[in-house]
Structures are given as structure tokens and as C-alpha cells.
Structure 1
Amino acid sequence: MTLVDFFLEPLTYDFMVRALATTLVASIVCAVLSCWLVLVGWSLMGDAVSHSVLPGVVLAYIAGVPFAIGAVVFGFLAVGLIGAVRDSGRVKEDAAIGIVFTTLFALGLVLISVTPSQTDLNHIIFGNLLGVSWSDLLQIVILGVVTFTILVVKRRDFTLFAFDPTHAHAIGLRPKLLGAALLGLLALTAVVALQAVGVVLVVAMLIIPGSTAYLLTDRFGRMLVIAPAISALCAVAGLYLSYYLDTASGGMVVLTQGAMFVLVFLFSPSHGVVAAKIAARRRRRAVADATTV
């Protein structure tokens, strides 16, 4: 098999073309948003929203409407409930997040267990990348474009909110509104990635790319380029590996992202573990040489 055949053979199947398009859209949108999630420290919030959409998807199936509608509704519901419990003053934010997302996720599991279906609803949990239809892909592209456009257009406001909400308020911005908008975009992004990797692995696509880019640069503008580039590369590599190794597609995409993070964590020129040890060894050697002289 030639290198050209290696890359072209999977694309002779329509389901692989749809899977590739879905994975690229989901990975790029998730990666861009992940930069802000990592910066603000909302990793757990990403986990919460991605799991909380499960009952919405099941109810959408029961009602015969697109999965995206139910997922978006419950994504926003989860964000609202977390805010209401947190703002009560009696429960801390991490506890509020844990209470809401575990309860809603459990509700989704119960609904799946009692809902007669000719469709395997467990695909919602673990993903069904190779089963994405053209209509599903259209929904994903529309939601992805909307989310990506808002993130790009409002990137300066979101970045200022993440770095210094007090200064954002001083210049006339509304930090609470920006935070709510970011959480709303998180809900939409979770829906975009839902078809690709399922609710269990969505959080990985929302956190790993931004964390990887954070280790490679100290400039946020570069993060917004590095994160989606790495995520798209891992998406393609993971999908091709899953095709030739006959493994779960969504899981392989996330596993590839995790492997990339490990490599960067170890060998990043500025923040890698290996680079830090080499730099420390050089400093000790320089000190020893200076002492000897």
C-alpha cells in the first residue's frame, strides 16, 4: 500500500467522510473554547455540562425532535441550576457542580433504561462517530459555525474577562454577562462534540487541547491557534488509527489527544518536565564551575 492509498482508502466510504468532517468540526470548536476554560479554571464546569445534556438527548428522542434541541436545553438548564445552587451561599461552586451534573446524568441513565428504542441510545454516552448521518453533520456544522464565530468575534472581551474581570467591569463590560455567554457557548460546544465522542469523552476534548497549548506558549493569542491545530491533527490521526486498527473511533481520537499532551508535558521547550530537568542540571553545573573557579 502506498502512502497515497493509505490516506485515500478510508475516504472511499461515505461514513468515514462524515466521521472526518464531524471530528474536525468538533475538535476545532472544542479546542478554541478549551483555551478559555483552562484559563478561567472551568474544567469541572465543562465536565458538568457535557454530562448534563444526556437527559435532554433522550427526551428529544422520545419527542421525535433533533437531539441537538434537547441537549442545548438541558445544557443551559444545567448552567442555570449550578448558578442557582451556588448563589444560595450555602453550597460551594464545586459541590453545586457535582450535585447538578451527577443528578442530571443519573436522570439520563434512568430515561435510557425505561425508553423502548430501536436506536441504541448508549451511543449517546460513548459516541457513535461512524454512525453520523448527513442531517446530523448539518446540525453539527451549523452549531459549530455559530459557536466558533461568536468566540472569534468576542475573543477580546472573553479574554479580558478571563484575565481581569474587575478591569473588564471598569471599562464598561459586564463580567457576569460574559461569564453566562461563555457557559452558554460551552453548552453548544458540548452538543457539537456529543455525536463524535459521546458525553463521557466530551470533557476530554474540552480540556486537553487548551492544556496542551498552554504548555507550549505564554501568549493567549498563540494558544487560540495552537490548540485547534493540535486538536485537528489528533482528530485526523485518531480517526485513521481507529480505521486501520479497528478500534472505537471517538475513544481513539481522545486517546491521541492524550498522547499528544503527554509528549508536550514531557518535552515542551519552555514548560516540559525533561526541559526543566535539563535546565536545572545546567544551572547546577554552572554554579559548580563558578565555585571551582
Structure 2
Amino acid sequence: MLQALIEPLQYSFMQRSLVIAILVGLLCAVVGSYLMVQRLALLGDAISHSVLPGLAISFMVGGNIFVGAFIAGVLSTMAIAFIRTRSPIKEDAAMGIVFSAFFALGVTLITIIQKDNKIDLNHFLFGNILGVTGDEVRDTAVIAAIVLIVIVLLYKELLFYTFDPLGAQAAGLPVNRLNFGLMVLIALTIVASMKAVGVILVLSLLITPGATAYLLVKRLHEVMILGAVIGVISSISGMYLSYFYNLPSGPAIVLVVSGLFVLALLFSPRHGVLIPNANQKKA
């Protein structure tokens, strides 16, 4: 058993991949907890799809794809806010309009790029964690550090805003800045996760660990901590499954975290479908 755990670590690409997996599992779970509590899962989906044209344009001009993806993610959140505040269109409809338009543009640009360059950019859609470079590990670590530090520094303000935005506004908190700042943190998290699970599957890592923890604990900081543990365990387990069974790494990670959610849904002491006491409490 120990030999099986150690075996993949002899390869440098697996060492880099596991570092990325741990960082992404931790980061997505912490940031995604806010999305899940605010019932804004669609926003995470919108931003994750919206980064695609940014990275495609960055590739075309020879720029840093992380920077391009981040800019596109921020622009998408600004577009959603503009539509929501300047028209009678509701936020969920604005998200659907923006993310579908950005995603379509990104796919179109990638198709154009592939006509002139014999390269495969599909790993941005589905992830290619086994192909990460040392520079990408560094970039991901820097992004993770920035996001986690900001969340620690603004934890109380974000907590207040998350559960009572009207009360936070009445108390004098800059709710619009907090909202925009949270959107920026989500965009950074998605950018950091691109090579691990891709822009299509990243929503699962953003939402599922927090949702699993929410079935087991009550308070937001507990959801964050347990969600981070679940995210890291799922990422590492998915990597080992990918290595030993020759599976695509991104989908393997998502399947593990989804499996843990199903177990929590069925057997959670507080909300488990198959736990009689839990069902009585809900009744």
C-alpha cells in the first residue's frame, strides 16, 4: 500500500500535478463556500465559461494566458452587473446571456487558432494537470496565496455581507465593493484551476466540496475548513486514480468529489436520506 502511494512521486510531473491539485482543491472549496451559501452557483459557471476568450486572445498575441483569462473573467462580471443595473433583466438571465456569449466567442477563437496552428487547446476546456510546468505551479501558488490572504483579512465583512447584504449596507459596509471583490476572487480561483480541471469542470470543484461540507456542519468557517479538506482529498485521490487507471485527471477528480457528496447526501447525521433520525429532524 505504501509503495503504491510513493510510486507516482518518483516522477517530477506527478509531483507538480499533486501540488497543483492540493492548491486548487483548497482554493476552490474556500471560495466556493461563498457561492454556495449565496446560491450563486450559476455565477461561478458564468465566470468559468467567460474566461475562455481571454486566454484564446492572450495565446494569439503571445501574452500570459492567466492574465488574459483573468481580464475576461472580470469583464464578464462587469457585463453582468451592467445588464442587471441598467435594464429590467434579472441577474440569472444576465448571467446566462453573458456566459453563453463569452463561451461561444472563446470556442470560435480557439477554432480559428487551431486552423493555423497544429496545437491542442482543448485542455483548457477539460484540464491537463499532468502537463503543468514549474512556472504554472508558481503562478497558481501566487494566486492561491493572494486569494486566501484576502479572504482571511475580509472574513468578517464577507460573512456579514453573505448572510445579510441589506444589514451590511445599513451598517455602512461598501457592499458593492465587497460584491465586486468577491467576483474578482472567483475569477482568480477559476484562472488558477484551468490547467487542473478546465473551465467546464471547475464549477464542480467550486460548489461540490462546500455543498458536501454543508450537509455535515453548520457554520461558514466550518464549511470552509471541511470543504477544503474534502477538496484536497478529492484532488489527490483523483490524481492517483488517473495515474493507476489511465483516466483523464480532471474528470477523475470531479468524480471523486461528486462521490463524496453522494455519500454525505445519503449518510449525513443531520440531513442523510438514509438516516432515520435526520429525516425525523427535517420533518
TM-score class normalised by the smaller sequence = over 0.9
Residue by residue, what CA displacement relative to the aligned partner does 1:187-237 show, whole Å, maximum 9, x if unpaired?
000101111010110111111011111111111121121010111011111
2:21 paired residue number: 23
User: Judging changes above 3 Å, is the alpha-carbon distance between structure 1 residues 93 and 243 closer, same or farther for their aligned structure 2 residues?
Assistant: same
1:148 paired residue number: 148
Match among 108, 114, 120 for residue 112 of structure 2 = 114
Residue by residue, what CA displacement relative to the aligned partner does 1:124-173 show, whole Å, maximum 9, x if unpaired?
11111101011111111111111111112111111110111122123221
TM-superposed CA distance for 1:261, in Å, is 0.2
Once residues 281 and 37 of structure 1 are traced to their aligned partners in structure 2, the CA distance between those partners, rounded to angstroms, is 29
1:273 paired residue number: 273
User: Judging changes above 3 Å, is the alpha-carbon distance between structure 1 residues 229 and 279 closer, same or farther for their aligned structure 2 residues?
Assistant: closer
User: Judging changes above 3 Å, is the alpha-carbon distance between structure 1 residues 244 and 157 closer, same or farther for their aligned structure 2 residues?
Assistant: same
Once residues 86 and 281 of structure 2 are traced to their aligned partners in structure 1, the CA distance between those partners, rounded to angstroms, is 53
Once residues 281 and 109 of structure 2 are traced to their aligned partners in structure 1, the CA distance between those partners, rounded to angstroms, is 60
TM-superposed CA distance for 1:118, in Å, is 4.2
2:216 paired residue number: 216
What is the TM-score with the length of structure 1 in the denominator?
A: 0.93
Residue by residue, what CA displacement relative to the aligned partner does 1:56-99 show, whole Å, maximum 9, x if unpaired?
01111111112100000000000000111111232111111001
Q: Are residue 94 (structure 1) and residue 92 (structure 2) matched? A: yes
AA matched with 2:63: V
2:76 paired residue number: 78
TM-superposed CA distance for 1:279, in Å, is 5.0
- Percent of pairs identical after alignment? 38
Q: Which has the larger radius of gyration?
A: 1
1:290 paired residue number: none
What is the TM-score with the length of structure 2 in the denominator?
A: 0.96
Once residues 63 and 141 of structure 2 are traced to their aligned partners in structure 1, the CA distance between those partners, rounded to angstroms, is 18
Residue by residue, what CA displacement relative to the aligned partner does 1:40-63 show, whole Å, maximum 9, x if unpaired?
111000000001000101111111
User: Judging changes above 3 Å, is the alpha-carbon distance between structure 1 residues 112 and 174 closer, same or farther for their aligned structure 2 residues?
Assistant: same
User: Judging changes above 3 Å, is the alpha-carbon distance between structure 1 residues 283 and 240 closer, same or farther for their aligned structure 2 residues?
Assistant: closer
1:175 paired residue number: 175
Task: Extract unaligned runs of 5+ from structure 2.
Answer: none
Once residues 60 and 21 of structure 1 are traced to their aligned partners in structure 2, the CA distance between those partners, rounded to angstroms, is 25
Once residues 217 and 280 of structure 1 are traced to their aligned partners in structure 2, the CA distance between those partners, rounded to angstroms, is 16
Segments of 4+ moved more than 6 angstroms:
281-284
1:203 paired residue number: 203
Once residues 251 and 97 of structure 1 are traced to their aligned partners in structure 2, the CA distance between those partners, rounded to angstroms, is 25
1:287 paired residue number: none
User: Judging changes above 3 Å, is the alpha-carbon distance between structure 1 residues 177 and 279 closer, same or farther for their aligned structure 2 residues?
Assistant: closer
Tell me how many residue pairs correspond in the alignment. Answer: 281
TM-superposed CA distance for 1:280, in Å, is 5.0
Structure 2 matches for 1:248-287, cutoff 5 A? 248-275=248-275, 277-278=276-277
| Alignment root-mean-square deviation, CA | 1.6
User: Judging changes above 3 Å, is the alpha-carbon distance between structure 1 residues 25 and 282 closer, same or farther for their aligned structure 2 residues?
Assistant: closer
Aligned to 2:274, what secondary structure does the other structure show?
A: helix
User: Judging changes above 3 Å, is the alpha-carbon distance between structure 1 residues 280 and 250 closer, same or farther for their aligned structure 2 residues?
Assistant: closer
Task: Extract unaligned runs of 5+ from structure 1.
Answer: 285-293
TM-superposed CA distance for 1:110, in Å, is 0.5
1:67 paired residue number: 65
